[in-house]
Structure 1
């Protein structure tokens, strides 16, 4: 739409750390452009020498540039209603979110950076503990979502963690969707049925 706010997501040509950002924009019904900078040539042009970077251009032509994955995700989640309005409920949602970020980061570290028995044990321990604590939380939800009766940021992150484990063909995949984790499996299935979520994948 002419004169509307537009977005550019700068990242590599993979889902990776930009997927949740793309998913939030997609679910919000916002158009955005993916740009895949020439790396590491483009590194010095980023705010902190890292990707992803979000560029938001307003109708008046002014540009807002934001770096760091979590900062971008929280900004978009707040802006488009993917976080509870109540301050205490929001704090609860954020604790789930940061736990998911922690598990995802240990997976990335193990798969792509430090592929050792130590890094694997750390990842598996984080994932095992996460599932043990979060399955009961989701089991108590009447809607199946983490917060209230609609999709929020931690739901989206849980789904992407599941997809990332699946993509890595990791042995821990069966921990997610089993008879022992029906609530987590239900949430994954609910999000999987959302046709818009699939548009966020490259």
Structure 2
């Protein structure tokens, strides 16, 4: 039996755009029992203190009932009962960031957030095929190479920008943004998926002090800290290591 999914409200874009303005929506996240492409979505919801829960992924039975046949999918129920179906991980992340005011104070700040968010996402997308999907006997070599040739170059660019912003734990001004959360989540994934025997992970207070400051600042946020300390978060970490055999 297929685990039932919420039924999206069918209405005009004008009607739905009004529903989007709801400030007390509830959310349901459909994704697998690992961090993966659902991690930042969960992080945004937890960080914002949103009311959310996870749906059981009954895949592939649910596949044909999703917009693109891929996960994650998020279902938002607004204060008037409208159900919005949100698909594609980056689109969901951007949507939630707009909703939770994590895009800076003006258009220029919005662009800077996008810049550094996209930069980190590009590195993350490269990490999987080069390291996670590498043959087990090659993982240590590939991880060390990735740390030296890819992460170190991007980290240097981010370090310089963060220094110019005052080394205050934020990418833009003195407020939390999508770029902050994206970087904190990425650091966690690199630390979690470090192959046994590989050199020390490329992020630390000594090696990348400004990125580490962002990491610590995000992790000190009460709602986000509570999420990371939760049993579910630990289950997702274990599931991630188990699925990828780390």
Query: What is the TM-score when the length of structure 2 is the normalising length?
Result: 0.73
User: 2:188 matched to 1:181?
Assistant: no
Give me the whole-angstrom Cα distance separating, in 1, the residues matched to 2:182 and 2:40: 7
SS in 2 for 1:48: coil
In 2: Cα distance, 1:70 partner to 1:110 partner: 21
Question: Aligned partners of 1:173 and 1:85: how far apart in 2?
Answer: 37
Instruction: Summarize deviations over 1:76-120 as a string: whole Å, max 9, x none.
Output: 001111111311111111010011111111122234435468975
Structure 2 counterparts to residues 36-115 of structure 1, below 5 A = 36-115=56-135
CA distance in 1, matches of 2:207, 2:34: 32
For 1:43 and 1:54, the matched residues in 2 are separated by: 14
Q: What's the C-alpha RMSD, in Å, of the aligned pairs?
A: 2.3
Maintained 8 Å contact 2:194/2:201 = no
Q: Does 1:151 align with 2:176?
A: yes
* Aligned positions, number: 200
Q: Deviations over 1:173-196 (max 9, x none)?
A: 532104232111222122222232
Structure 1 portions without partners, runs of 5+: none
* Structure 2, unpaired ranges of 5+: 1-23, 234-246
- Matches of 1:79 and 1:192, distance apart in 2: 21
Q: Greater Rg, structure 1 or structure 2?
A: 2
Partner residue of 2:152? 128
**TM (normalized to structure 1)?**
0.88
The Cα of 1:60 is off from its aligned counterpart by 2.4
Partner of 1:191: 218
Partner Cα distance (1:60, 1:32) in 2: 17
